[in-house]
Amino acid sequence: MSVNEKKINELRPGMRGINVKVKIDSISEPRNVNLRTGGQAKVADAQVSDDTGSIKLSLWDDQINMINEGDTILIENGYTHAFRGENNLNIGKYGKIVKL
């Protein structure tokens, strides 16, 4: 476990710079969404877990095809936010997925 690696049960809405190792439990069918900046993007929701709990991870465009159910990944520099009352994990443009 790296110095600032977190567990899912430690994640709170509004956290930044999160490194967390998770297993992909399921991935929803991608859907098209309209972006605030104009244009469209594909987004899929992955349910991910570790030994402390599970959380929803949003996957955008190219990220969707990078991983499969059952994979273990490290999310580097992710962030969390509350969406519809639920804490979600996001990778964002500065974050990274590393397949383990």
Arithmetic mean of pLDDT over the chain: 94
User: What is the band of 92 on the pLDDT scale with cuts at 50, 70, 90?
Assistant: confident
pLDDT at position 33 over 90: yes
- SS3 state at 43: strand
Rounded to two decimals, what is the model's pTM?
A: 0.90
Decide if pLDDT at 77 tops 70. Answer: yes
Note the pLDDT of residue 4.
Answer: 77
Structural domains in the chain plus CATH codes: 5-99 (2.40.50.140)
pLDDT in tens, 14-32: 999 999 999 999 999 999 9
In the chain, which ranges are E strands?
A: 5-6, 18-27, 31-34, 40-50, 53-60, 72-83, 86-90, 96-99
What pLDDT was estimated at residue 2?
53
Tell me which DSSP letter residue 28 carries: P
pLDDT at residue 93, as a whole number: 85
